[in-house]
Structure 1
């Protein structure tokens, strides 16, 4: 089975981390569960999984190794490059993630008759008007839909299909990334005169509410003798300028560092140094970065949105933020000042790690090709 997965770029992000995990785990002769059986039987099946991206990442910022890349996410020539790849390779299954390549799906299907087209939805909110327009039009016309979370299905897919008055087969396929090695000084609770190191990696987008993260860091810094260091790393999605201004105005005891996208080694280095991962988003689907941090055993401060609401338990494997930053800061200080509690929550967080992503993805693709064969 030949699968071609089209994405926006090879830089840092949840979609890219999932694609890299699939690239490294799906290969020729991959052992996968037989579709339609209740047993755990497996078959040896030649599977070719390829990634195409509208844009490549600069050196040191690559999150996924793509087989074909263009020059820019907004370049018509890059779109044509991916469409040529579809026509020349004629994959049995085409998977499109994020709106710019989802828009290529109908054209790709014309260029490669017989290719089954899957739209993979990764967000529980539209990012802009074009995103809404493309998904609203394309979802009812796809051969199948994958969702990274129940939240993505309820917020994006169900309304689009209801509006169109049609039914399209769909699956919830929760992604994984390759395991993150976050070992380092951050896995030990900080002493009182040591800076509390916070980290966030992901897109600097409005929905992530990084302004709220900065406010939390300011409250923590005012309460800790050792102060606070906050590292925010990721591609700018419209928020970096505001964050730079906030960093310039940060008071004593707080140091804020803003970095661009990191490769996997850079993420691991940042995670290993930090005591706490913070993500206070308004809305999420699966929330890849948060799940990476949890699986790596980090103390995580999260808003219980999207899959995080079901996958984490407040006070057991994460600290949930319920709207009061002063209260959340007090709870973070209580855990980080108690080495036993700090260690226990980190150990509990590792139990949230997901499994079976590759198998679920391959099964969904195989079911489509089997349907075509019938």
Structure 2
């Protein structure tokens, strides 16, 4: 049994949504208990809440940090940086951390605020080396600390011969380039009447256009928009699929891809963020360069069950020895609070 935690950590997120950052924060709060307090800067759901989950509704994150007597305050995503700056100014005794989750900014405000915050904080954390290097350059690798984004250890299902059954879970947002995934799927499905694609997640501005694209390509009856689901329901759907599609323009660790690999799905991804490191062509996944090449590589997997099985097993094995997110997060916070260098 690990020694008891001796620090109080506050993790501030902009909103309590269904992105990887928010899901990881909630999971860690449930496992760690009162030593980890999670605060969303916006409203939350009605009803009773865990004692260590807070919805600030415009209140001050700095005031909450002081009231909790937090040793460390961690701030994720660019919208939380004003609260980080205020905490730094009004609670100088609290160690502060900027937590990066993407290998590039989404706009100029993100770029400027992140650069400013990186100068102010005691430490910069990131979900991958690619996020650190992409946002802060080589110097970021020296100042920063990588936090594992492996949230849990699911049991993978047993798979037989591969099928052209594809799945994605995450937000339906333009950054994930689900339109690109649908076009790739349509290319494969043109020659495979058994091809299916399931898209799981909340609409974050893209679903209407994606449904229209599916109709235009004649794929409306072969693509399911399943809406948001909990992980147990996702795992049940994943057992009926063999490939995970995520052709994002930018990423950090890409938690959903990690989960998919743990479930034995073969990821089909763009070489961005950490995906470029853990998805090796035809070894642990398929790397998207263009539609023709990617469709050809998937075709090789479908026609060679041995190749698919080796890639699926390698995808699972890639994460078996990695520390869980909540353990890594709290170990990093305790080391920072105690002034222990890595």
TM-score scaled by length of structure 2:
0.85
Find the counterpart in structure 2 of residue 304 from structure 1.
271
CA deviation vs aligned residue, 1:110-132 (integer Å, no higher than 9, x gap)? 44341111010011121233322
Q: How far apart, CA to CA, are the structure 2 residues paired with 1:253 and 1:241?
A: 12
**How is 1:30-45 mapped onto 2 (pairs within 5 angstroms)?**
none
1:88 pairs with one of 55, 67, 71: 67
Find the counterpart in structure 1 of residue 28 from structure 2.
22
Q: How far apart, CA to CA, are the structure 1 residues paired with 2:275 and 2:45?
A: 31
1:67 pairs with one of 52, 63, 71: 52
Find the counterpart in structure 2 of residue 54 from structure 1.
41
Q: How far apart, CA to CA, are the structure 1 residues paired with 2:41 and 2:16?
A: 8
Could you say what secondary structure the match of 1:78 adopts? coil
Q: State the Cα distance separating 1:333 from its structure 2 match.
A: 2.5
Could you say what secondary structure the match of 1:96 adopts? strand
Could you say what secondary structure the match of 2:137 adopts? helix
Q: How far apart, CA to CA, are the structure 1 residues paired with 2:311 and 2:79?
A: 39
CA deviation vs aligned residue, 1:248-305 (integer Å, no higher than 9, x gap)? 2231585222243322223223322222111112222211111111122112212222
CA deviation vs aligned residue, 1:97-147 (integer Å, no higher than 9, x gap)? 112222201212344341111010011121233322321222211121101
Root-mean-square deviation over aligned CA pairs: 2.9
- The answer on 1:188 being equivalent to 2:155 is no
Q: How far apart, CA to CA, are the structure 1 residues paired with 2:101 and 2:59?
A: 24
Work out whether residues 55 and 69 of structure 1, in 8 Å CA contact, stay in contact via their aligned partners in 2. Answer: no
Work out whether residues 43 and 57 of structure 2, in 8 Å CA contact, stay in contact via their aligned partners in 1. Answer: no
Q: How far apart, CA to CA, are the structure 2 residues paired with 1:27 and 1:68?
A: 10
Q: How far apart, CA to CA, are the structure 2 residues paired with 1:181 and 1:3?
A: 30
Q: 1:366 to 1:350 in 2, by over 3 A?
A: same
Work out whether residues 126 and 147 of structure 2, in 8 Å CA contact, stay in contact via their aligned partners in 1. Answer: yes
CA deviation vs aligned residue, 1:201-251 (integer Å, no higher than 9, x gap)? 12223332211100111011101132x221222233332232121122231
1:261 pairs with one of 206, 212, 228: 228
Structure 1: runs of 5+ lacking an equivalent: 29-47, 71-76
How many pairs does the alignment contain?
330
**How is 1:323-338 mapped onto 2 (pairs within 5 angstroms)?**
323=290, 325-338=291-304
Find the counterpart in structure 2 of residue 344 from structure 1.
310
Q: 1:151 to 1:22 in 2, by over 3 A?
A: same
**How is 1:242-321 mapped onto 2 (pairs within 5 angstroms)?**
242-251=209-218, 255-321=222-288
**How is 1:154-169 mapped onto 2 (pairs within 5 angstroms)?**
154-158=133-137, 169=143
Q: How far apart, CA to CA, are the structure 2 residues paired with 1:56 and 1:317?
A: 40
Could you say what secondary structure the match of 1:232 adopts? strand
Find the counterpart in structure 1 of residue 152 from structure 2.
178
- The answer on 1:205 being equivalent to 2:205 is no
Q: State the Cα distance separating 1:355 from its structure 2 match.
A: 1.1
Work out whether residues 24 and 151 of structure 2, in 8 Å CA contact, stay in contact via their aligned partners in 1. Answer: yes
2:14 pairs with one of 8, 16, 21: 8
Q: Which moved more, 1:337-346 or 1:142-151?
A: 337-346
Q: 1:90 to 1:253 in 2, by over 3 A?
A: closer
Work out whether residues 29 and 52 of structure 2, in 8 Å CA contact, stay in contact via their aligned partners in 1. Answer: no
Q: How far apart, CA to CA, are the structure 1 residues paired with 2:73 and 2:94?
A: 7
Find the counterpart in structure 2 of residue 43 from structure 1.
none
Q: Which moved more, 1:312-321 or 1:329-338?
A: 329-338
Could you say what secondary structure the match of 2:210 adopts? helix
Q: State the Cα distance separating 1:359 from its structure 2 match.
A: 4.5
Q: 1:327 to 1:152 in 2, by over 3 A?
A: same
Structure 2: runs of 5+ lacking an equivalent: 1-6
Find the counterpart in structure 1 of residue 3 from structure 2.
none
